[in-house]
Structure 1
Amino acid sequence: MKNLLIISPNFPPINAADMHRVRQSLMYFQELDWNPIVLTVKPEQIEGNIDENLLQTISPKIEIIHVSAFSPRWTRKIGLGSLGLRSLWFYKNAGNKILKTRKIDLIYFSTTMFPVMILGTYWEKKFSIPFVIDMQDPWHSEHYLKVPKHQRPPKFWFSYRLNKYLEPIAMKKVSGIISVSQGYCDILQQRYTNIRPENCTVIPFGAFRTDFEVLEQQKILNSFFSPGTDTINIAYIGRGGHDMELPISAICKAFKRGLVESPELFKRIKMYFIGTSYAKDGKGKATIEPLAQKFGVDQYIKEFTDRVSYFEALQILREADMLLIPGSVDPNYTASKLYPYIMAQKPLLAVFNEQSSVVEILKRTNAGEAIVFNGATTTETLATNIYESWQNILLRLPFIPDINWTAFEPYTAKKMTEKQVNFFDMILKAKSALHEHSECI
C-alpha cells in the first residue's frame, strides 16, 4: 500500500469548504491501496466554525497529525490572519520530520490556504518526492484588477502581490494538477511550461451520501424558518459576491415580475441567502440584499452573511420547499456544493454561466432546472427565462424531482476518489520512468 501525505490545514471539526475533498475521499483511499496520512492544523488555532458532527464522517483508523500555527491574536496586530502563512513554518518542520523517518510515495496539497503549497517544491528538492496540487480556486488571479476597487477583497494589494510571487514557486516542481475546472488547468499551462495537459486532470468534488446518513441520526434545528407552513421557503447556502451580480439581479427582476403577474404564488415566497461571506461572524458585507433593495423586493429576500454549521446547512436544504443556486459570471465557477443540493431531493433552480459544469450535471441527472447566460446575456433576457421556469416549478409544488440516480453515480465521492487515485498512480509511473531514463543516461 502506497503512503499519501495529505496537506489540508482545515479539517474536521472545522467547517471549511476547502477540506471536503479530503474528508470525502478518506474512507475510499485505503481500499484503493493508498494509505492517507493527514497533516492538518490544530482546530483551536484556526479561525473557523466548528461542527463536531463532521468528525462522525471520519474513520478512527485514519492517521491525523496536527501542527501548530502562530496565534491570530498576535499576527493580526500586524495585519496577518492567513492560516496558510501562520502555519507555514510549522508545516515545514512537521513535514521534514515525517519525510525523513517514513516512506511517503506522494504529497497531496488539497486546500485553498495556498502559501503552504510552496513546500511542495522544497520537499521535492530535499526528498525527491513528487507532489500534486488540488486547485479548488484560482490562486494568483488578474480578475480583481478589472473591477472597481470597492469590489476587491480586503487587503487585495497585499494578497495580489504575495500570490503573484508564491504561485511560481509552488508550480516550479509540481508533478500534477487536479482541478475542479478545466479553465484553471488552462491558465496554469499558459503560465508555466512544465505544466502540460498530461500533468492535469479535472475532478469535481463528489457527492457524499454518508453526510445524509449522519444527518438522519441527529436532531439538528433549522434556525431560519419553519417547514410545513403556507410560506414557500426558498434557500440558498453559499457565498455571495459581486461576480454574481448578473444572476442575482435577474432573479430579483424575475421575482418582481412574479409579484405583479402571479401574486398568488410569489407573495408566499421567502428567500434565504445564508452564509454569503467568508469573513468572520458579524464582519461580512452583504452583496445580495443591496440588489434586492435596488429592485424593491427586499421584503421577501433576507441575506445572512454569517456561515452556519455544515449539518445545519444540510438540514436547511432538506426542509426548504425549493432550492436556488446562483452562479458566477466566471465560466470556471463550478459550485462544489451542488451535490448536497441534489441529494436533498428538492425542486432546484440554478442560474449559471453556460460553460459551467453545473449545467451539464443537472441536465444529465434531471435534478433541476438550469437557466444559462453568457457574456452577451442581458439582465432582462435572463430574468424572463428565470421567471418562466420559476413559475412552472411553483405551480407544481410540492414535488420530489425525478432524479436519474444511475446518471448521478459517476459524481459520487467514491468515483471521484477512484479518479484521484488513478491520477496518483499515473504520476508515480511517470516519475519512475523519468528516473529510469536518467539512470540510463
Structure 2
Amino acid sequence: MSNRVLIVSPHFPPINAPDHQRVRMSLAYFEKFGWEPHVLAVEADYVEGIQDPLLIKTIPCSVPVTYTKALPVQQTKRIGMGSLGLRSFPYLLRAGNDLLRKKDFDLVYFSTTIFTSMALGLLWYRRFNIPYVLDFQDPWLSDYYRKTGVTPPGGHFKYELAQLEAKFLEPKVLSKVSHVISVSPAYPETLQQRYPNLRSDQFSILPFGASESDFELLPSLQVKQTIFDPKDGKRHWVYVGRGGDDMANSLRILFLGIQTERQRNPELWQSVHMHFVGTSYAQGNRAVKTVEPIAQKLGVGDLVTEHPHRIPYFEALQVLSDSDAILMIGSDDPSYTASKLYPCVLARKPILAIFHQLSSVVNILHSCQAGQAVTFASSDQPQKLLPEIITQLNWLISIPKGFQPQTNWSAFEPYTAKAMTSQQCAIFNQCFVTSNKSKSL
C-alpha cells in the first residue's frame, strides 16, 4: 500500500521553469518506490513565464494535479507586488487545506524556488500535524550578493525585499521541518550554523536527476529550433542557461582564451560561432544582454550571438542536440550547481565547462567522463587560467563534427531521475516513520 505525498510546486507545466524539474522528472517513479503523488500548482495564466505545452506530455496521466488561481500580476504590479509567492499564497493555502482535510496525506513536499510557499508547510503542520520536507534549489536567505557586490537576478530592489521576507519566514519554517534536501552541500552547512537545533541527519544532498525519457521523446515531437542552422557548415557551440554578473569571470576566461588563440590562427576560428541562449529572466524589452558586452570587450564579439530570451524546454533540448559542442558557464559562487548539466550530458555532445573548483558539477562531469572542465578558485584572475583554457579550446576545435564523448553511462546512472527518485522516497520513508513515532508518544 502506497503512502501519499502532496507536492507543492507553484511553477509547473505548462510553465517552462527549472524549479519544477525535480518534481516533473520524479513523477513517473514515485509509485514504484511506494509513494502516490498529488501536485498542487498555480494555473499557467497567473504565472509570468514561457508556456511550453509539450511539457504536459512528460507528466504521467495517472498523477492528479490541482491548479489554483493567483492575484493577477497586472493588478498587483501597480502596488509593487509581482511576486508569485505572495500572489498565490492564499489560493494555495485554501486548496491545500481542502486536499489535506479530504484526503489522507502522509507528507507535504516543497520543491520550488517560490520560497514564500514553503511557509504553508508550517501552517499545515500546525493544523494537520503532517510532516513537511523542503527542497532548496537555491538559498532562501543569502548574503552572497551583498558580499560580492554582484547584481542579483531581478535587480537589487526585488532582492532586498525577498531577503527581508526570508529573514522573517526562514527561521519559522525551519523550526518544524522534518527534512531539508539541497542540491549543494554548502547550504546545509550554512543552515546548521544558522539554526543549531537542526541535526545533520535532517539534511540530504540530492542533485537533480537526468531525464533520459525527455531525449527519447524529443525526435517524435519534431521540434524546430530557430537559434541557428545546423547545416550551414559552421561549428555551432551553444550555452543554454541564465547569465548574470556572477558568471562574468567564467566568460572572461573563455573569451580571453579564444582571443589569444584566434590571434595565432585566425583561419581556424572563421567557422566557429557561439550562441548563448536564455540568459535573462526578464521578458520583452526588459531582457538585458550580459554576454555579448564581455565578448565585444575582449575582441571576439563577432563570434558570439546572445539570445537573452528564454525558449521552450524541448526547443532548448533540440538546440543542444543540433550543436557541435556545448559550453557550460559557471558562477563564481562555489555553491552553484547547474541543473542543466544532465541535459548536456544526455545530448551526447562534447562539453567544455568553466566552473568554480568547489562546484559539484566538476566532480560529476569528471566521474562520468562526459566532458572537460576548466576550474578556478575565487581569487583567480582570467589570465591565470589562460594555459588551461587554451588547451581545452584546442581540443574542442580539433575534434571532428559529429564527435560523441565516451561517456561512462554506468557512472552516470546514479544521477538519473529514477535513481534520484529512489533517494527522495527513502527520505520520505524516514520522515513518515519518525512522524508516526512522535505521534504515538
Q: Same fold (TM over 0.5)?
A: yes
Instruction: Indicate if the aligned counterparts of 2:151 and 2:245 stay in contact, CA closer than 8 A.
Output: no
Is there any run of 5+ residues in structure 1 with no aligned partner, and where? none
1:52 to partner: Cα distance: 1.0
Give the AA of the match of 1:195.
L
**In the superposition, relative to structure 1, how do residues 152 and 98 fare at CA in structure 2: closer, same or farther (>3 Å)?**
closer
Counterpart of 1:428?
432
1:319 to partner: Cα distance: 0.5
Q: What TM-score do you get using the length of structure 1 for normalisation? A: 0.97
Counterpart of 1:416?
420
Counterpart of 1:186?
189
Give the AA of the match of 2:407.
I
Counterpart of 1:115?
116
Q: What TM-score do you get using the length of structure 2 for normalisation? A: 0.97
Counterpart of 2:203?
200
Equivalents in 1 of 2:169, 2:258: separation in Å?
44
Equivalents in 1 of 2:149, 2:140: separation in Å?
20
**In the superposition, relative to structure 1, how do residues 79 and 149 fare at CA in structure 2: closer, same or farther (>3 Å)?**
farther
> Deviation string for 1:150-183 (max 9, x for gaps)?
5674223322212221212221211100110111
Counterpart of 1:317?
320
**What secondary structure does 1:187 align onto?**
helix
Instruction: Indicate if the aligned counterparts of 2:11 and 2:112 stay in contact, CA closer than 8 A.
Output: yes
Is there any run of 5+ residues in structure 2 with no aligned partner, and where? none
Instruction: Indicate if the aligned counterparts of 2:277 and 2:308 stay in contact, CA closer than 8 A.
Output: yes
1:428 to partner: Cα distance: 1.5
**What secondary structure does 1:36 align onto?**
strand
**What secondary structure does 1:50 align onto?**
coil
> Deviation string for 1:389-432 (max 9, x for gaps)?
11112111221111111111111000000000001111122222
Counterpart of 1:369?
372
Counterpart of 1:127?
128
> Deviation string for 1:29-86 (max 9, x for gaps)?
0111100000001111111101111111111111111111000010011111111111
Equivalents in 2 of 1:45, 1:332: separation in Å?
31
> Deviation string for 1:167-210 (max 9, x for gaps)?
12221211100110111111111111232210000110011011
**What secondary structure does 1:49 align onto?**
coil
Match of 1:237 among 235, 240, 249: 240
Give the AA of the match of 1:393.
L
Instruction: Indicate if the aligned counterparts of 1:282 and 1:306 stay in contact, CA closer than 8 A.
Output: no
Matches within 5 A, 1:140-179: 140-148=141-149, 153-154=154-155, 155-179=158-182
> Deviation string for 1:289-312 (max 9, x for gaps)?
121121121111111110000000
**What secondary structure does 1:27 align onto?**
coil
Counterpart of 1:401?
405
Counterpart of 1:384?
387
The two structures, once aligned, show a CA RMSD in angstroms of 1.3
Matched, 1:29 2:33: no
Counterpart of 1:306?
309
Equivalents in 1 of 2:90, 2:323: separation in Å?
44
Counterpart of 1:4?
5
Percent identity between the aligned chains? 41
Instruction: Indicate if the aligned counterparts of 2:238 and 2:327 stay in contact, CA closer than 8 A.
Output: yes
Q: Structure 1: which 4+ aligned runs deviate by more than 6 Å?
A: none
**What secondary structure does 1:59 align onto?**
coil
**What secondary structure does 1:282 align onto?**
helix
Instruction: Indicate if the aligned counterparts of 1:250 and 1:382 stay in contact, CA closer than 8 A.
Output: yes
Give the AA of the match of 1:90.
Y
Give the AA of the match of 2:89.
L
Instruction: Indicate if the aligned counterparts of 2:317 and 2:343 stay in contact, CA closer than 8 A.
Output: yes
Match of 1:338 among 338, 341, 356: 341
> Deviation string for 1:214-252 (max 9, x for gaps)?
211012112111113331111000001111111111111
